């Protein structure tokens, strides 16, 4: 996708969660560039929180599993966009370039200004990099919406939209069940409190059928009594 976008001079907008996801994207882009699999187009990181987190990753590279070389490649890949004026200037640039910016679900942040500036050009690419919760602009865009409400008006989106499904930060159902099988002792009750309704109910059924556990998806604002007498 990035190779094709670069060949046509496109701007690639990557909405990303500021902590973890943005750094993971830069790490993979740095590795792809090092292997010659993507061209050396300019990459910009435009999120104050993501920049701060990236600085911490770089300063404490001995605290995680990424090699020193990979950590340096991630850190040196992107130009950090610190100020509002620098962010505005980015919208006046021409492609090819990659902009990684928050928020990941397009619910706010500097990425909306880039979406407004570049989303109307069919040459450009919007690359969704994470889960999109229902009701967010990101979910609407991923579902095929071509007009998004931003800054008090409807903005037409003509750019190509694609998703990087492999970047989910959540374990899948099989991984969750494998982890739960190691529980000792088995919990008296299990509650699924995070996820879309259909997916939550499907996981509930698997937990009941495959593990034989008592499992429920609680109602919104429902309170349950815990064994120690407290409420949750």
Residue 33 has pLDDT above 80, yes or no: yes
- Domain regions of the chain by residue span: 2-167, 173-216
**Burial zone of 172 (CB within 10 Å; 0-12 exposed, 13-18 middle, 19+ buried):** exposed
pLDDT band with cut points at 50, 70 and 90 for residue 1: confident
Joined tokens for residue 7: 């060949």
What pLDDT, in 10s, does the model give residues 175-192? 899 999 999 999 999 999
The half-sphere exposure of 211 on its side-chain side, counting CA atoms within 13 A, is 26
In the prediction, which pLDDT does 79 show? Answer: 95
Q: Which residue bears the tokens 């619910």?
A: 107
**Strand arrangement of the beta sheet that strand 43-46 belongs to:** 79-80, 43-46, 97-101, 11-15, 125-128, 160-163
Residue 82 has pLDDT above 90, yes or no: yes
Distance of CA 130 to the CA centre of its chain: 3
Helix (H) or strand (E) run with residue 15 in it: strand 11-15
In the prediction, which pLDDT does 157 show? Answer: 95
Determine the average pLDDT of the residues in 113-123.
96
Question: Would you list the DSSP string of 46-97?
Answer: E-HHHHHHHHHHHHTGGGSSS-HHHHHHHHHHSEE--SHHHHHHHTT--SSE
In the prediction, which pLDDT does 205 show? Answer: 94
In the prediction, which pLDDT does 230 show? Answer: 65
Determine the average pLDDT of the residues in 143-149.
91
Residue 9 has pLDDT above 80, yes or no: yes
Distance of CA 55 to the CA centre of its chain: 19
Residue 206: strand, helix, or coil:
helix
pLDDT band with cut points at 50, 70 and 90 for residue 64: confident
In the prediction, which pLDDT does 228 show? Answer: 72
Q: What class has domain 2-167?
A: alpha beta
pTM of the model: 0.76
Determine the average pLDDT of the residues in 55-80.
87
What pLDDT, in 10s, does the model give residues 193-215? 987 788 889 999 999 999 999 99
- Do the strands 153-156 and 97-101 form a parallel or antiparallel pair, or are they unpaired? unpaired
Determine the average pLDDT of the residues in 141-151.
91
Q: Which residues contact 156 (CB under 8 A, 6 or more apart)?
A: 119, 120, 146, 147
In the prediction, which pLDDT does 31 show? Answer: 94
Residue 92 has pLDDT above 90, yes or no: yes
In the prediction, which pLDDT does 169 show? Answer: 58
What pLDDT, in 10s, does the model give residues 151-179? 999 999 999 999 886 665 566 788 899 99
In the prediction, which pLDDT does 194 show? Answer: 83
């Amino acid at each position: 996708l990035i190779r094709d976008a670069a060949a046509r001079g496109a701007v690639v907008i990557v909405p990303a969660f500021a902590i973890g996801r943005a750094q993971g994207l830069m790490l993979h882009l740095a590795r792809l560039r090092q292997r010659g699999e993507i061209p050396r187009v300019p990459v910009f990181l435009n999120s104050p929180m993501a920049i701060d987190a990236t600085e911490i990753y770089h300063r404490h590279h001995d605290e995680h599993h990424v090699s020193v070389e990979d950590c340096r490649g991630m850190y040196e890949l992107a130009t950090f966009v610190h100020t509002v004026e620098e962010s505005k200037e980015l919208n006046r640039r021409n492609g090819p370039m990659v902009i990684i910016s928050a928020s990941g679900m397009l619910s706010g942040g500097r990425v909306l200004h880039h979406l407004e500036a570049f989303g109307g050009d069919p040459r450009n690419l919007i690359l969704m990099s994470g889960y999109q919760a229902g009701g967010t602009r990101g979910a609407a865009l991923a579902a095929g919406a071509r007009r998004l409400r931003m800054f008090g008006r409807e903005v037409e989106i003509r750019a190509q939209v694609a998703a990087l499904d492999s970047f989910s930060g959540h374990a899948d159902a099989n991984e969750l069940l494998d982890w739960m099988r190691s529980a000792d002792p088995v919990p008296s009750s299990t509650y699924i409190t995070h996820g879309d309704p259909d997916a939550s109910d499907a996981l509930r059924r698997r937990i009941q059928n495959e593990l034989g556990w008592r499992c429920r998806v609680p109602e919104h604002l429902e309170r349950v009594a815990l064994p120690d007498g407290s409420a949750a």
